[in-house]
A and B are shown apart, each in its own frame.
Chain A
Amino acid sequence: MAKFPSIEWFKAIQDVANGDDRLRKLGTCDAVMGVKVRDKAYEITFEAFDCTGVREISEADLANTDFYLDMPYETWREMLENIKQNGKPDRQYTLNTIDFLAPEGFAKSDDQSKKDSFYRYGQTFQQFFNASAEIDTEFAAPATA
């Protein structure tokens, strides 16, 4: 069981995603995606047909990614638990829907042309998170205010 968020958790779904032909069949993807959960930040690199790198970074380094996903911890948890149920999200929990419904967006970047990677490879990023259904995730206790 891997704890979310942690480098072990991201590496675990990287292994699942790369070992599954579905990611490859979506076609090539070259992008660096950031993930921000509470005070933790991660960088996930996609190159050609694979997810080639996962590492923890500082919050400041999120500026070096093409875009980063940022939403409250409880929304992360709801999304991942929903994915776990069916191996894919219900319509209200897709990355695109979450982004659309969030007033300030879910995918963020100072450079719109880089942020467009989020749409350009949308299926690939969705498949990456869908891979989390294959592992057991331990969620942290709710944060105290």
Chain B
Amino acid sequence: MVQKTEKKSAATSATNGISDALRRKAISKNWPLVVVERALRGGVKEELLHQALDAGMTPLQAREMMVGGDHGEIKLSMAWAKVDTERGIRAEIGKKGLTIDAINVGSYADVPDLWPDQTMRPRGAYVKPGAVSMGYTIYSKAEVWADNLGELYEEAIQRRWRPATDIPWDTIETLPKDRERAIGQICTELCEYNYAVILALGKWVREVSYGFHEVKLFLSTVLFDAGRHYEAFRKRALANGSGLGVQATGDRLMPIREAMCYSEMATMVFMVNDSFVLSLYQLLAALAQNDAEVKLFTLAAQDKARHLAYGVEHTRFLIEHQPERRDEIRRYLLKGEEYIAKDRVADTPMREALAIHLGGGVKQIGEGFRRLDDFHRRQLQAYLGRVEAAGLENHQDVLWPELAADLQPAQA
């Protein structure tokens, strides 16, 4: 009995040559039977029609495929599959999986010094006449490139973290009011810095042409990192009774916002400010009052060190390929240093909050200021080390004067 039923359902209807199964499926998907009939008459296999129905193809799409009039032949263009791009690429999977660098093989590995294409065409794809301009303004590889971009992008993805659950927020216990207020003030200003980075990169990342997709990918991770840091520091400020403090003077952020070219912005962010901020993260992790702060600032430092790795490598690449810009980059450094120095004087809230943190409380503020001088010296030495690593030697000889004073040992 069962066999009979199956035979009947598999049978072909006497009318129109459409099997019962195909007829039922066509009706359930609102296909006119005349379309099915025409397709079968034109030589389309029933199996293909089942696939089209299962895939959700509409009757209109089916009609468009069958452009052969009454004979109902399916004619595919397939011209897209015959364009002159490099084929046969099989990238190797390495220890880190299939990375963005691993797929840079053959002609796809060619990153030209200039990429004048205004469209969103992926590097290596065939040019489509008539594609619209996206209004990019950065076509020079040297302006944005670093040889470690692919590695840094993959690392950013691999080492990502989640402030809501990766930080043991429940380890934060009540702190003395002065220390809690100090960390709240520091986190307020760090939020502001990260917001400035988001604004600056958000503006510049769209200017970079798609030929340098590694740059766009990496900068996107930096944007995400800055958003994450903003989120995490705001959470710390609001997790234990401090609340936010006062807005920063913002001097150091001005040249970031006002940068007239990408390399100026990149120097301000990825060489000058990030360098000082990484040292600050290290300080905050070292002076943490609970496991939450240890992890928060250690993870933030990991991200910031990655951003600096781009800054150093980018500056090195730029100077190597456009040595005539060496003095220009040095001017950007000095401009950034000038505003850092201004902030040191004007930003009383940050200075006092750091001294309270370093001294261990407001009663030890004198010791805190002495330690702050030591910290500023180490912060500056690390910055000078990165500038030298980027190919700008002896920068201490031309350092912005007010900042150079930090290199002097603190008075006992």
In the complex, B219 has a CB within 8 A of chain A: no
CA distance A91 to B384 in the complex (A): 29
B286 close to A101 (CB less than 8 A): yes
Grouping DSSP codes into helix (H, G, I), strand (E, B) and loop, the A interface class, with mixed when no group exceeds half, is helix
Interface size class of B (residues with CB under 8 A): 35 or more
Chain A: residues with Cβ within 8 Å of the partner, total of 28
Contact at B386–A27, with CB atoms within 8 Å? no
- Does B282 contact A119, Cβ atoms closer than 8 Å? yes
Q: A91-B291, A97-B286 are in contact. Are A120 and B388 (CB under 8 A)?
A: no
Contacts of A116 in B (CB 8 A): 278, 305, 308-309, 386
- A27-B99 Cα distance, complex, nearest whole Å: 14
* CB within 8 Å for A30 and B151 given contacts A48-B96, A49-B95, A96-B298: yes
Contacts of A97 in B (CB 8 A): 285-286
B389 A27 Cβ-Cβ under 8 A: no
What residues of A have a CB within 8 angstroms of the CB of B154 in the complex?
28
**A59 CA to B154 CA, complexed, in Å:** 33
A87: CB under 8 A from chain B?
A: no
Bound: A68/B159 CA distance, A: 23
* Contact assessment for B278 and A119 in the assembled complex, using a CB-CB cutoff below 8 Å: yes
CA distance A48 to B96 in the complex (A): 6
Please determine whether A28 and B301 come into contact, CB atoms closer than 8 angstroms: no
Total A-B pairs, Cβ < 8 A: 84
Residues of B290-310 contacting chain A, CB below 8 A: 291, 294, 298-299, 301-302, 304-306, 308-309
Closest to A111 in B: B389
Given A91-B291, A101-B286, A48 and B305 touching (CB < 8 A)? no
Q: Once the chains are docked, how many angstroms separate the CA of A126 from the CA of B285?
A: 13
Q: How many angstroms from the CA of A16 to the CA of B312 in the assembled complex?
A: 35
**Distance of B279 from chain A, by nearest CB (Å):** 9
Which residues from chain B sit less than 8 Å from chain A, CB to CB? Answer: 94-96, 151, 154-155, 158-160, 278, 281-283, 285-288, 291, 294, 298-299, 301-302, 304-306, 308-309, 312-313, 378, 382, 384-386, 388-390
Further contacts, 7 of them, CB under 8 A, given A96-B298, A122-B302:
A48-B95, A91-B294, A94-B285, A99-B282, A100-B287, A116-B386, A120-B309
A-B contact pairs, 30 of them (CB 8 A): A27-B155, A27-B158, A27-B159, A27-B160, A28-B155, A48-B94, A48-B95, A49-B95, A91-B294, A94-B298, A96-B286, A99-B286, A100-B285, A100-B287, A111-B385, A111-B389, A112-B388, A112-B389, A113-B313, A113-B386, A116-B309, A116-B386, A117-B305, A119-B304, A119-B305, A120-B305, A120-B306, A122-B298, A123-B298, A123-B302
Q: Which 7 A-B pairs have the closest CB atoms?
A: A112-B385, A27-B158, A100-B286, A27-B159, A113-B389, A120-B305, A48-B95
Identify the A interface with B (CB < 8 A): 26-28, 30, 47-49, 91, 94, 96-97, 99-101, 105, 111-117, 119-123, 126
